[in-house]
């Protein structure tokens, strides 16, 4: 942006000498210091007739967009007229009329002469849909003839006059200019004595508009993104791509398949953002924008701490590096007991984010002690999912067992018991149940790390107290115990809970949710079409021992839907769903009528 100082200007019109029957050109001369801001408004003939460049049909006069006034087939009457031009300042709107007049000086021909070009334009610019005039002016004796050719890929071909295109004494007129009208035109001037040629390039412009398709897309990590830049307008010289207002650099994943198509393979988290496609020519520019979003991605681990062994007094740093679509929540536990800085002044827990969006969560221990040893775990979660990693920190020292919490196991499932042992080195870990060394049968497995796995847990055989005993190479031992309670999960009897129940409107119906096995207490809950069911009107819920009955006293059409029974106890929850189909009264009437007709 720059300031413009308003300066007075005076347009001038000078005489033009022309041989009778030829074409005259009058110019509105403007001072150089205002040409950037001043344009021709109109021409005045004898202070009466006003001509503008927007005037279309006139075989005698043509006003060019560049401001020149062309007089065709000049005769003596033209020499008697006075011509003035009026200019307009584009910024202030000021109109200034030339103080002096210009005249056409008509001369008599003296001897034959071939054409001599006196005025033409090497380039003409026009907007699509506008009226275009391409001048071709010469002087000759006798007055010359004009022909126009247009250059195509196959060569030069004559311009055919029609309702849009015509030639007036050398000037080529084109109505409602189209993009296809653009190109190189050649004017050929002949009069039997000689000939001349001049070329003009017509550039038909249309405002540039850019649209990037699709405007919004959400992708998962690893998928492929394709953006199409749709450009309208003319001409289009360059098309460039940017991301988040920065130059978009191509690489093995991000490629331009063509000027207008951007292709991104194996989309990564850093690919999300705003993509802009810019189109330019020498006078215009436009842009379109599209957004790539990364879909809901659960966190995933990039790296994590390994098993670590240290001596007392050393420093320890455990790290988990993760990525995902949303900022994760990170918790650190030691044998499933959550850790915090407030619990231990020697522990520092925190995290930081890299410029790539990777989250590094750390647990630092200053002055490590034997009681710090054990299995540490980082749990990383967001609204979509979770991931975790666990590894052992060994601190040299005698063995010890951390307090066990009591454990509930579900009958028929697998149970894994971890001995929360500390100290290092540990020579062996053994397990006992009720003083009897395990394993007792094929369902028991003990790993070298001291994990006890019980497959197909059974209440009678597996419920009770379990003790783990850790021993180091010096023969020192430590032990700890926990009590395992085995609970039986509820099982709904499918015999009374079919997939589909059909009832006639107005009749009674019921859905029975009966639990055949499962430790009490058992709680029941009903859903209709996935939403909590509320008893109302002629529908109620009845509890009977280990069953819940959904009772319809008078079935209505509005009762149609999916009904889900959820049975829950201390172990877990289970559910079954049934579709209630309600037949309307009109169907039964039609059925009766059909049977009656058949009997006749």
**Is 79's pLDDT higher than 70?**
yes
**Is 311's pLDDT higher than 60?**
yes
Q: In terms of C-beta density within 10 A (0-12 exposed, 13-18 middle, 19 or more buried), how is residue 390 classed?
A: middle
Q: Could you tell me whether strands 238-243 and 225-234 are parallel, antiparallel, or unpaired per DSSP bridges?
A: unpaired
User: What residues have CB less than 8 Å from 23, skipping those under 6 apart?
Assistant: 70, 71, 72, 73, 74, 118, 137, 138, 139, 169, 170
Above pLDDT 70, what percent of the chain? 95
What is the C-alpha to C-alpha distance for residues 52 and 406, in angstroms, rounded to an integer? 99
pLDDT average, residue stretch 321-337: 85
**Is 596's pLDDT higher than 60?**
no
Contact 81, 46 (CB under 8 A): yes
Q: Token match 């007055």: residue?
A: 143
* String of DSSP letters for 176-236: S--GGG-EEEEEEEE-SS-EEEEEEEEEEEEEEEEEEESSEEEE-TT--EEEEEEEEEE--
Above pLDDT 90, what percent of the chain? 66
**Is 14's pLDDT higher than 80?**
yes
- Name the nearest CA neighbour of 567 among 500, 527, 501, 515: 515
What is the C-alpha to C-alpha distance for residues 85 and 12, in angstroms, rounded to an integer? 8
Q: Could you tell me whether strands 509-517 and 561-568 are parallel, antiparallel, or unpaired per DSSP bridges?
A: unpaired
- Least confident piece of the model among 48-57, 108-117, 544-553, 576-585: 48-57
Mean pLDDT of the residues in the chain: 89
CA distances from 412 to 110, 113, 487, 572 (A): 123, 116, 10, 12
pLDDT average, residue stretch 327-346: 88
What is the C-alpha to C-alpha distance for residues 253 and 479, in angstroms, rounded to an integer? 57
Q: In terms of C-beta density within 10 A (0-12 exposed, 13-18 middle, 19 or more buried), how is residue 592 classed?
A: exposed
Q: Alpha-carbon torsion 341, 343, 347, 353, what sign?
A: negative
Contact 146, 50 (CB under 8 A): no
Write the pLDDT tens digit of every residue in 442-466: 999 999 888 999 999 999 999 999 9
Helix (H, G, I), strand (E, B) or coil at 80: helix
For 479-488, give one letter per residue: b (16+ CB within 10 A) or e. bbebebebbb
pLDDT average, residue stretch 115-123: 93
Write the pLDDT tens digit of every residue in 273-286: 999 999 999 888 99
- Least confident piece of the model among 3-12, 58-67, 74-83: 3-12
599 — pLDDT class (breaks 50, 70, 90): very low
Q: CB atoms < 10 A from the CB of 123, how many?
A: 11
Quick check: bond before 38 cis, omega within 30?
Answer: no
Instruction: Compare 398 and 37 and report the one with higher pLDDT.
Output: 398
Q: Token match 């009591």: residue?
A: 406
- Least confident piece of the model among 159-163, 281-285, 327-331: 327-331
pLDDT average, residue stretch 3-7: 55
Q: In terms of C-beta density within 10 A (0-12 exposed, 13-18 middle, 19 or more buried), how is residue 537 classed?
A: exposed
């Amino acid at each position: 942006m720059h300031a413009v100082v308003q300066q007075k200007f005076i347009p001038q019109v000078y005489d033009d000498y022309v041989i009778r029957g030829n074409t005259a050109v009058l110019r509105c001369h403007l001072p150089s210091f205002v040409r950037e801001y001043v344009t021709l408004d109109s021409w005045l003939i004898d202070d009466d007739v006003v001509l503008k460049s927007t005037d279309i049909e006139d075989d005698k006069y043509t006003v060019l967009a560049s401001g020149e006034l062309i007089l065709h087939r000049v005769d003596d009457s033209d020499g008697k007229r006075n011509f003035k031009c009026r200019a307009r300042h584009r910024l202030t709107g000021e109109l200034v009329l030339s103080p002096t007049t210009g005249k056409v000086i008509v001369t008599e021909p003296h001897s034959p002469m071939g054409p001599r070009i006196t005025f033409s334009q090497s380039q003409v610019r026009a907007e699509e849909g506008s009226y275009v005039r391409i001048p071709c002016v010469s002087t000759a004796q006798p007055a010359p003839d004009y022909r126009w050719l247009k250059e195509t890929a196959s060569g030069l071909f004559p311009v055919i006059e029609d309702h849009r295109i015509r030639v007036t004494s050398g000037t080529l007129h084109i109505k409602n200019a189209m993009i296809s009208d653009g190109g190189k035109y050649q004017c050929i001037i002949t009069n039997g004595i000689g000939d001349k040629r001049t070329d003009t390039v017509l550039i038909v412009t249309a405002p540039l508009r850019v649209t990037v398709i699709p405007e919004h897309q959400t992708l998962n990590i690893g998928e492929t993104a394709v953006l199409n830049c749709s450009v309208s307008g003319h001409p289009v010289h360059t098309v460039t791509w940017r991301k988040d207002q920065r130059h978009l650099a191509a690489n093995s994943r991000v490629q331009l398949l063509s000027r207008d198509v951007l292709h991104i393979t194996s989309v990564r988290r850093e690919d999300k953002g705003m993509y802009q496609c810019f189109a330019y020519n020498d006078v215009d520019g436009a842009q379109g924008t599209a957004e790539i979003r990364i879909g809901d991605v659960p966190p995933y681990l990039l790296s994590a701490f390994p098993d670590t062994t240290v001596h007392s007094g050393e420093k320890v740093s455990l790290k988990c590096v993760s990525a995902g679509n949303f900022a994760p929540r990170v918790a650190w536990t030691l044998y499933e007991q959550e850790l915090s800085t407030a619990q231990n002044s020697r522990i520092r827990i925190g995290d930081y984010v890299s410029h790539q969006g990777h989250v590094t969560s750390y647990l630092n221990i200053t002055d490590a002690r034997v009681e710090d040893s054990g299995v540490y775990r980082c749990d990383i979660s967001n609204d979509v999912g979770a991931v975790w990693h666990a590894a052992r920190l060994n601190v040299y020292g005698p063995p010890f067992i951390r307090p066990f919490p009591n454990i509930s196991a579900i009958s028929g499932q697998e149970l894994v018991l971890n001995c929360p042992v500390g100290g290092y080195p540990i020579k062996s870990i053994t397990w006992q149940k009720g003083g009897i060394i395990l394993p007792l049968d094929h369902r028991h497995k003990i790993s070298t790390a001291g994990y006890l796995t019980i497959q197909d847990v059974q209440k009678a055989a597996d419920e009770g107290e379990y003790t783990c005993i850790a021993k180091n190479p010096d023969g020192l031992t430590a032990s700890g115990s926990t009590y395992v309670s085995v609970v039986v999960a509820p099982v709904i009897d499918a015999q009374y809970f079919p997939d589909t129940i059909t009832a006639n409107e107005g009749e009674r119906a019921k859905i029975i949710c009966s639990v055949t096995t499962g430790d009490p207490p058992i709680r029941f809950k009903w859903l209709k079409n996935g939403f909590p069911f509320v008893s109302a009107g002629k529908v109620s819920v009845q509890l009977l021992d280990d069953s819940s009955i959904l009772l319809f006293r008078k079935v209505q059409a509005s009762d149609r839907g999916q009904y889900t029974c959820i049975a829950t106890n201390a172990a877990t929850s289970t559910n079954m769903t049934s579709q209630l189909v309600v037949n309307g009264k009109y169907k039964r009437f039609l059925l009766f009528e059909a049977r009656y007709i058949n009997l006749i």
